[in-house]
Amino acid sequence: MGNAAKKLVISGIIILITILLLSISIHFMFRGPAAPFFVIHNHDIISHEVTVEVFDHNSKPIVNETYNLEPHRDFTKRRPLSVRLNREKEYTFKVTMDKQITNISTMEIPGRKTSVNIRLYTKSGETIPYNPNREAIPILVEIVEWM
């Protein structure tokens, strides 16, 4: 291969990379960043250990991680690459708190601006309609739409 041919191949590769980067930049400029995959909110006055397992529609594990949340703190999990690239919309969340209380919920995440909120000890009136007779809910899993 001659020197001129090598320069032509290198120039072509540089042009392709430039076009790819430009198209990705334009994509994010108009659509904005994706919402987090999930957010854990600890509304309690004590710390909790939370294990979050997420499975796709084929029961393939996507996330299996344990977090220690201090009182009144949040944890945000970015969307894994497999979720960002996949068109799947239905996921099963298995949330276990302090190795004792478990909530299993199947959630539909229809788009990039939709996320899952995992709330520990949510009190009536915080995210659900007020009811003075309702006690705090140990684990509440819900869908939230980001603007």
Domain boundaries, the chain: 1-32, 38-145
Give the β-pairing of 38-42 and 114-122: parallel
Confidence of residue 7 (pLDDT cuts 50, 70, 90): confident
Q: Write out the H or E segment, with its range, that includes residue 83.
A: helix 81-85
Which of 2.30.30, 3.40.50, 1.20.1740, 2.60.40 is the CATH number of 38-145?
2.60.40
Looking at 15-19, 33-37, 59-63, which range is the least confident one?
33-37
Task: Say if strands 61-69 and 101-108 run parallel, antiparallel, or are unpaired.
Answer: unpaired
Amino acid at 100: Q
Binning pLDDT at 50, 70 and 90, where does residue 133 land?
Answer: low
The pLDDT of residue 128 is: 60
pLDDT tier at 85 (50, 70, 90 boundaries)?
confident
Mean pLDDT of all residues belonging to the chain: 85
Residue 17: pLDDT band with limits 50, 70, 90: very high
Of the candidate ranges 67-71, 77-81, 101-105, 125-129, the one whose mean pLDDT is the lowest:
125-129
Select from 71, 40, 68 the least CA-distant residue to 54: 40
Instruction: Tell me what the mean pLDDT of segment 24-43 comes to.
Output: 77
Q: Collapsing DSSP states into helix, strand and coil, what is residue 53? A: strand
pLDDT of 31 reads: 59
pLDDT value of position 69:
95
- With a cut of 60, say whether residue 3 has pLDDT above it: yes
- What pLDDT, on a 0 to 100 scale, did the predictor assign at position 5? 84
| Phi-psi region at 7: left, alpha or beta (left = phi > 0; alpha = psi -120 to 50) | alpha
